[in-house]
Structure 1
């Protein structure tokens, strides 16, 4: 304890969703959940860039900040259902878009990655500026890595930041990249590569002298993309340096506020190192739940429009 091996989710999963790919694709492509009626605000950053923040004020006391996954945005289905659930629990909701996400390209060369915690902290401050008294963080996939890195790498986190939940999170980013090379998982990788390549083409027009953009035509997988573009664009030596340094595994031992990770054992995006049982057994602040089923950012429930992820996240926050 607090390693939670026997998850309540495994007793409530619909039969068809015991197939990880079915569950993952259903949640991403089939399930429909409308976004709340947000207000959108452009948050100007000190470096000259901006972040688009969608938010709805429900309470001046408590708010949840929702962090989307790789090439996601503030209005993905998993974000929408989580937002709706927490609004019904009388939380305000702040769903933010990483740079270049949410339908508008950012101004600077930099995009985003698993350890973009300076931008996340700007969203936290944005919530405080709305007079929110208690902030809770929830991240999905890459957004979960941002949450874990936030709690592990920022010293003296504001006492008003109470806890976090990370769902389907690549604790070791290299292991996740390797998993996406295997079998059917390559379908997910190719979709990511297509989307990211489109953004790099836009960056090549914005900043033609920045790097050798001709290599865009050679992008076939994460290895080439991250070695030739992601790493140098964000100040890393190469893809291995990037994967190592942005992984939450480098910082999680320093977590000293309550955090829950929910990583299903059948998640096609996760690999070795993404289930840090030993850390959970020795750090009382770090909780790990490993359902047998759940897919990636899925966790559908019987007779419920909500997923286990947001229900479990609320229960975790309520228990503190």
Structure 2
């Protein structure tokens, strides 16, 4: 593994955050992801309690090294650049890859009547259990980005309780304290809040066209900020009375990760403008949890050069490979983190 050491304007956190999902970078990603995309098939998962989630599964034509389930961030989907990039790297290295869409992400709005919220952990656990049952492997891995990293770590913390076997979980720039993340979006560079407001509104418009009885069509047009949207949708379309209670419900600060029973690895950037690295010290102490921070990287960026190559993809592959052979692959020198 080489360390992440970008130069010039690539040390700027906003450049890292934005470059990770630009159209130019997608042009670099597609050739590497082509084999995975060609092998992918769309799958509807039964998550229990009448809930369904959508995903895309790509399997090797030869013996697989294991199955990696990937979860995107808020208002991303299975076609997000970072998921295609990471998934393509893992698939080309010999792993099966399942790219899971959270509720109301990607083309999945029709599957469930009720709206997505980030506290819906049970249906994600149900989805992972169905994936593991439908596509059994001796080596099951889980990784997520941003909000997806938060979900992945919460699933891992519940794994022993719900009967899931996960060899390694990786959270990339995971949301730690949602309330502080929301403040960072509101008070940081204006483009971030505008981006998420636009994406969330677009998603909610899709949903109301499918389920007009949800009744928020006229109200949605009047909501112009994340604070206004949370203040309306949390008490009216979640089990929570207010945004503070809702944010607390999916925070991983405090003792949430104390129940981790298998290896979990967090990759974060000290300059992340959305997820504050200072909150990582608020995570539970657990011998299974390893936290890796880099000085640069922005939010889920880690673009290592002007060819827009991803350091993160190689690091994710390193971590997963290492978890299969902690003492080093047979016949090779020992691997180290």
TM range (shorter): 0.7 to 0.9
Q: CA deviation at 1:303?
A: 8.0
**Mapped contact 1:62–1:132 kept (Cα < 8 A):** yes
Q: CA deviation at 1:226?
A: 1.4
Paired with 1:217 and 1:291, the residues of 2 have a C-alpha distance of 40
Any idea what SS the aligned residue of 1:241 has? helix
**Mapped contact 2:167–2:263 kept (Cα < 8 A):** yes
Paired with 2:265 and 2:319, the residues of 1 have a C-alpha distance of 8
Any idea what SS the aligned residue of 1:247 has? coil
**Where does 1:117-196 land on structure 2 (aligned, <5 Å)?**
117-124=121-128, 125-158=130-163, 160-184=165-189, 186-196=190-200
Unaligned runs of 5+ in 1: 1-6
- 1:9 aligned partner: 3
Pairwise CA RMSD: 2.5
Unaligned runs of 5+ in 2: 324-337
Per mean C-alpha deviation after superposition, the further-off stretch among 134-143 and 96-105 is 96-105
Q: Normalising to structure 1: TM-score of the pair? A: 0.87
- TM-superposition CA deviations, 1:188-213 (whole Å, max 9, x none): 12111112112323434444454555
Q: CA deviation at 1:54?
A: 0.6
Q: Normalising to structure 2: TM-score of the pair? A: 0.83
- Say whether 1:239 aligns with 2:243: yes
- 2:45 aligned partner: 43
- 2:92 aligned partner: 88
Paired with 2:283 and 2:209, the residues of 1 have a C-alpha distance of 47
**Where does 1:1-320 land on structure 2 (aligned, <5 Å)?**
9-10=3-4, 12-29=5-22, 30-32=24-26, 33-34=29-30, 35=33, 36-37=37-38, 38-58=40-60, 59-124=63-128, 125-158=130-163, 160-184=165-189, 186-210=190-214, 213-250=217-254, 251-271=256-276, 274-276=279-281, 279=284, 282-302=285-305, 306-320=309-323
Q: Say if 1:216 and 1:277 are closer, same or farther in 2 by CA, change over 3 A.
A: closer
Q: Higher relative CO (CA 8 A, sep ≥ 6), structure 1 or 2?
A: 1
Q: Say if 1:109 and 1:258 are closer, same or farther in 2 by CA, change over 3 A.
A: same
Q: Say if 1:278 and 1:169 are closer, same or farther in 2 by CA, change over 3 A.
A: closer
Q: CA deviation at 1:31?
A: 0.9
Per mean C-alpha deviation after superposition, the further-off stretch among 254-263 and 209-218 is 209-218
Paired with 1:238 and 1:97, the residues of 2 have a C-alpha distance of 26
**Mapped contact 1:178–1:271 kept (Cα < 8 A):** no
**Mapped contact 1:62–1:133 kept (Cα < 8 A):** yes
- TM-superposition CA deviations, 1:98-146 (whole Å, max 9, x none): 1222224234333334343323223322233122222111100010010
Q: CA deviation at 1:222?
A: 1.7
Q: Say if 1:115 and 1:91 are closer, same or farther in 2 by CA, change over 3 A.
A: farther
Per mean C-alpha deviation after superposition, the further-off stretch among 16-25 and 304-313 is 304-313
Q: Say if 1:202 and 1:315 are closer, same or farther in 2 by CA, change over 3 A.
A: closer
Q: CA deviation at 1:267?
A: 0.8
Q: CA deviation at 1:66?
A: 0.4
| Aligned residue pairs, count | 310
Per mean C-alpha deviation after superposition, the further-off stretch among 29-38 and 68-77 is 29-38
Per mean C-alpha deviation after superposition, the further-off stretch among 230-239 and 130-139 is 230-239
- TM-superposition CA deviations, 1:36-66 (whole Å, max 9, x none): 2211122244344432211111245511000
**Mapped contact 1:115–1:149 kept (Cα < 8 A):** no
Q: Say if 1:272 and 1:318 are closer, same or farther in 2 by CA, change over 3 A.
A: closer
Paired with 1:208 and 1:111, the residues of 2 have a C-alpha distance of 12
